[in-house]
Structure 1
């Protein structure tokens, strides 16, 4: 019976078609480029610090300029993407970040790098709102978490590719070439996007069977809602809370993981690469597995609410053991704990990013994602300040990782209190102009 059921599922999938996964592959490529672009400066920072002559405080200003712009951009770009649609909105975002990435090659001072990073943050902020909205347009609800998990894996691919490619390019053609290279990658993706992307209703290569499958969810309301109006709904605050509480843990790993491994296990630049690659590869697996798990629960007959929160709980429990990482003496046990936590975060993100499309109509998804992303970026900035102060005063990561390990369970409790059934937000009529 199981073999017969499996064959039936495979037959239905083949009959429906798979063009939507080509679109998801483009989102994966864009997210990978996004993270390569933002990681270039981190890879080159030790060399540029000597070359340009900035000090640690000035480098902090450069990093903060990116975070601030990213927060502002997430607040604004969602509304822009909802206004112009994913095809044009995504094109605007990647055009800005492509030009900003290449502009780094012209910088020769702290102010120049800070300005380039600010522009990069504004452009890159559009990636996730545009990608999430694209998933909402191209995938039925039961597949969205998996699709988000697939393209979100690009964040880890980019984090692995940057330390592999950037030093080689910089050593061969100069540090300016590294920034130009990533900008050219972005521009190449943009050309492919504009030439091939259409919404499902306008895509001639999409079969009627696949279009019907994509549109198999119940009809959604069509009223247009300004993003300020969205904040009147608990559903928006649930997503905002989830991002504000848990995004800082991801920023913590991005900015402090290398420093933690180097200080605790005496790793050098030549030996730190392999542990970090292993950690990000584990995060890749978690990103896809977390999205797959929610879909698996739905195929078992669970409703969206139970499936989504069940997957989120599983991911939250994967992060919890990170509280033990300061107590272990083995590097590879520490890598396993950190990798499990990062895998849990990425699986969590695959499901959290799907919440807006679970609870809001498609035309409002990018705006909700942008608002939540803004909250997550602000939380990340606060976490960076706390981490720096904590390490300066105690030199210990114990309290930092304790907070990280508990954050996801707290966030899930808040989400459940705000939206116990993940009920869609109700929009009765369009607001007055």
Structure 2
């Protein structure tokens, strides 16, 4: 059955386990996944492609490394600020409508980046791009969480989140080539139109209804708008933060993403400065590291699901261990080795475990909240991980680079992965209890 052929006038209804997968064909569910993934891919290309233009912007407008890092951080800041309102809108208005609207907004902002006449205009366009992206992850993640059973959620969410590393790969790789041949303006605006077209097509995907939060309530009577809309913001925040598992996952994911955003943003510039590579060649080498993250995100999510089959807390022990491996590899590469083959080899090896928490942490958060609050819960993940992770990494690294040099900055930042590992380990200690509490509430 084609994804585009389903009648959207009769929404799906989730069962007590929070899954609608048994009500649709496997082909339909994976078709929806493909569309969500494709739109997310344009999102991350639009976000990441600017790093290949850093040498040109630095030369044309005389920008410092701090100012360049801010062009990445401002996206994460606006995502963090808008994440919860946009996620609540998705729970009230519907996930499909929210995904389409957000995709259209960030695509328009992407075109605005290409038309910027100065740094302030470019910074504002990047902020608008982040506003559009704010609701996409929560709405898309909540939609997928309903289409697939719990036993596959870490795998599916990790594959969805892997659009980030893959989009970053394409952004850095294509951005380097396009900037050399057509300039930075064409590079920044190139993927705006494809994003708009995908957003329009996405309107034909079918949304679903969710069960009520309150025990004993009619689980099929009201759509998500009524379910989520009946809970105030303060009560919603209490509901999302009352489980220790979710709280530690928010923090652990943010600390790991601080390091990921640092590497993905500054590695092309480091390769250009330390290795003397042109933008396209530096982009190609950096793309290998990010591509390793793409495979690492999917593989770690699959491994987490498989290892958790007999003991659920093991789902979080996988990203815990891989975060420690990432810190060891990157600190050694930039802190103890000079530029060369061995240094780059360690950085490339670190690319695989670097993205291990991308899908696993949000999947665990989804597991320990009521189904009708999933989009809002993922919105909280987006808020914390962007504000305290993705927003901090690029600009903090830029500041450290201006003060001590880029190599020193890249050698210090991976230490945040150690903090991320501790947080995820603490989350693993309460995960099974919180998971049982949600299952008990759903069965009443």
Please tell me the TM-score bracket, short chain as reference.
Answer: 0.7 to 0.9
State the secondary structure of the residue aligned to 1:360. coil
- Is the 2:252–2:424 Cα contact (8 Å) retained in structure 1? yes
- Is the 2:104–2:196 Cα contact (8 Å) retained in structure 1? yes
Pick closer, same or farther for the CA change 1:101–1:241 going to 2, 3 Å. same
User: 1:40 deviation in Å?
Assistant: 3.0
Pick closer, same or farther for the CA change 1:329–1:115 going to 2, 3 Å. closer
**154, 164, 167: which one aligns with 1:145:** 154
State the secondary structure of the residue aligned to 1:319. helix
**421, 425, 433: which one aligns with 1:409:** 421
State the secondary structure of the residue aligned to 2:41. helix
Partner of 1:46: 55
Q: Equivalents in 1 of 2:50, 2:401: separation in Å? A: 23
Pick closer, same or farther for the CA change 1:249–1:164 going to 2, 3 Å. closer
User: 1:174 deviation in Å?
Assistant: 5.8
Partner of 1:215: none
TM-score between the two structures when normalised by the length of structure 2: 0.78
Partner of 1:87: 96
Pick closer, same or farther for the CA change 1:273–1:75 going to 2, 3 Å. same
Query: Which moves more between the two structures, 389-398 or 410-419?
Result: 389-398
Q: Equivalents in 1 of 2:46, 2:39: separation in Å? A: 11
Partner of 1:207: none
List per-residue Cα deviations over 1:189-219 (Å, max 9, x = no partner): 1122113x103689xxxxxxxxxxxxxxxx9
Matches within 5 A, 1:194-343: 194-195=203-204, 197-199=205-207, 224=228, 225=231, 226=233, 227-234=236-243, 235-298=245-308, 301-303=309-311, 305-322=312-329, 323-326=331-334, 327-329=336-338, 331-343=340-352
List per-residue Cα deviations over 1:228-260 (Å, max 9, x = no partner): 233441243223222332221112112222234
Pick closer, same or farther for the CA change 1:271–1:110 going to 2, 3 Å. closer
Partner of 1:345: 354
- Is the 1:24–1:135 Cα contact (8 Å) retained in structure 2? yes
Q: Equivalents in 2 of 1:424, 1:97: separation in Å? A: 39
State the secondary structure of the residue aligned to 2:266. helix
User: 1:99 deviation in Å?
Assistant: 1.2
Q: Which consecutive residues of structure 1, in runs of 5 or more, have no partner in the other structure? A: 1-12, 203-218
Partner of 2:387: 378
**368, 371, 382: which one aligns with 2:377:** 368
Q: Which consecutive residues of structure 2, in runs of 5 or more, have no partner in the other structure? A: 1-21, 211-218
Q: Establish whether residue 55 from structure 1 lines up as the match of residue 67 from structure 2.
A: no
Pick closer, same or farther for the CA change 1:377–1:232 going to 2, 3 Å. closer
Give the aligned length. Answer: 395
Pick closer, same or farther for the CA change 1:354–1:336 going to 2, 3 Å. farther
- Is the 1:67–1:121 Cα contact (8 Å) retained in structure 2? yes
Partner of 1:205: none
TM-score between the two structures when normalised by the length of structure 1: 0.80
Q: Establish whether residue 103 from structure 1 lines up as the match of residue 115 from structure 2.
A: no
Pick closer, same or farther for the CA change 1:229–1:77 going to 2, 3 Å. same
User: 1:48 deviation in Å?
Assistant: 4.0
Q: Equivalents in 1 of 2:73, 2:53: separation in Å? A: 17
User: 1:34 deviation in Å?
Assistant: 0.7
Query: Which moves more between the two structures, 279-288 or 178-187?
Result: 178-187
